[in-house]
Amino acid sequence: KQEVTQIPAALSVPEGENLVLNCSFTDSAIYNLQWFRQDPGKGLTSLLLIQSSQREQTSGRLNASLDKSSGRSTLYIAASQPGDSATYLCAYNTNAGKSTFGDGTTLTVKP
């Protein structure tokens, strides 16, 4: 059973384009949601953390939103750059402290 779904699985865009990555989850007992970036063969780098009581968080060119009632989160990347190429994962944490990850969206930004 897929508890976290990330769409699309892969995305290729030209440099400079704005883009949106989607994350859907089924568990209503969400405590917070976190977006990560992973480069090939490396660990995860935290991008943004949104508490269940918050609607969005911003960091530089990144903006993450959370709609707990519909079970959706989006990661908006403005003015994409080739250095943004990576796999982006979302994960939600429950009140019990359990984390569930999506399979990620692999982003390629072409120069």
Partner 1 sequence: KAGVTQTPRYLIKTRGQQVTLSCSPISGHRSVSWYQQTPGQGLQFLFEYFSETQRNKGNFPGRFSGRQFSNSRSEMNVSTLELGDSALYLCASSFGKGLGYTFGSGTRLTVV
Q: Where do contacts with partner 1 occur on this chain (CB under 8 A)?
A: 31-32, 34, 36, 41-46, 49, 51, 89, 91, 93, 95-104
| Gap between the Cα atoms of 46 and 96, Å rounded | 21
The nearest distance, CB 62 to partner 1, in angstroms, is 15
67 three-class SS: strand
Phi then psi dihedrals of residue 17, to 5 deg: -75, 145
Residue closer to partner 1 by CB (options 77, 90) is 90
Q: What angle do CA 71, 72, 78 make, to 5 degrees?
A: 165
- CA-nearest of 98, 24, 108, 38 to 68 is 24
Q: How far is the CB of 102 from partner 1 (least distance, A)?
A: 8
Q: Residue 13 or residue 101: which is nearer to partner 1 going by CB?
A: 101
- Rounded least distance, CB 70 to partner 1, Å: 22
Nearer to partner 1, 18 or 45 (CB): 45
33 vs 77, beta carbon nearer partner 1: 33
Shortest separation between residue 16's beta carbon and partner 1, angstroms: 29
Handedness of CA 60, 91, 37, 79 (dihedral sign): negative
